[in-house]
Amino acid sequence: MKILFILILLSFTLLSKNNFAPNRPSQTNSPWTVPDNKILFETGIENNGYMLFDNQNYIFGVNEIRYGISNKSEIKLGFSIVNKFNNFDNLSLNYKYEIYDSEGIIPSVGILSTILFNQDSNDLLLNPGVKLIFRNVVNDLTISYLIGYQRVNVNNNLFYTFNIGYNVNNKCSIFIENYGFFSEDNDFIYKNYLDFGVAYLLKENFQFDISFGKNLNSNQFYFVNMGIAYLLLN
């Protein structure tokens, strides 16, 4: 089967790509890569369920380990641990390339390719995905938008995001974001979400963040996410 990948993505962050550009805390990714020969570790905890603090629905460790292999490319290992460390989920291997860096009306552009690993009975399934990433930066304002593709088992999924971020000062940034996805799972499914949050730099290479969100298709489904991002310096 032939699959066409067409997508767009953007995110917000506090500093320029030459310093510190984590993907957290929004649902988007940065088009910028980790600096050459540096490691960026991002992790968090999310409560994701119908009851906001239902301890049966925690996701421990929404993890990314990113490594800069050149000044325009990186590789990333992603995974999460769900239900009190009982299950691993969303194991992925990713490659990002920074196509163009810009400010103002012309966006920065990056592309991210993904292989998502899923276990189906005794078979290991390799699910391809791809994102084309854009970011506009105008003074202290950033604008993010996304369209993406990810295959999961036998289902094709399209997803998007639109993100507006604002740098309050050189340490603190806030954002609001709308995102969602379309899925073939049994029948055509559409889900739509809204989230907002704040990120704060404790050090030039250490960020803390917290965000809150809601499934707009449900009156009860809320979630909260908090975590850190740490750039290992030489």
Q: Which of 91, 67, 93 is nearest to 79 (CA)?
A: 91
pLDDT at 168: 96
Q: Collapsing DSSP states into helix, strand and coil, what is residue 217?
A: coil
pLDDT tens digits for 27-41?
A: 888 889 999 999 999
Does a structural domain hold residue 220? yes
pLDDT at 161: 92
Q: Print the domain residue range for 199.
A: 39-232
pLDDT at 1: 36
Q: Rounded CA gap, 90 and 82, in Å?
A: 10
Does a structural domain hold residue 222? yes
pLDDT top residue among 87 and 61 = 61
pLDDT tens digits for 135-171?
A: 999 889 999 888 899 988 878 999 999 999 999 999 9
Beta bridge partners of 58: 47
Does a structural domain hold residue 204? yes
Does a structural domain hold residue 8? no
Does a structural domain hold residue 122? yes
Q: Rounded CA gap, 111 and 99, in Å?
A: 7
pLDDT at 46: 84
pLDDT tens digits for 3-60?
A: 333 232 333 334 344 468 899 999 888 889 999 999 999 999 888 765 445 555 667 6
CATH number, residue 81: 2.40.160.40
pLDDT at 20: 81
Q: Is 8 exposed, middle or buried (0-12, 13-18, 19+ CB in 10 A)?
A: middle
pLDDT top residue among 154 and 63 = 63
Q: Which of 136, 165, 176 is nearest to 12 (CA)?
A: 165
Q: Whole-structure pTM over 0.85, yes or no?
A: no
Does a structural domain hold residue 15? no
Does a structural domain hold residue 123? yes
pLDDT tens digits for 68-112?
A: 999 899 999 998 876 554 455 678 999 999 998 887 788 999 999
Does a structural domain hold residue 216? yes
**The total number of structural domains that make up the chain:** 1
- Split at pLDDT 50, 70, 90, the class of 188 is confident
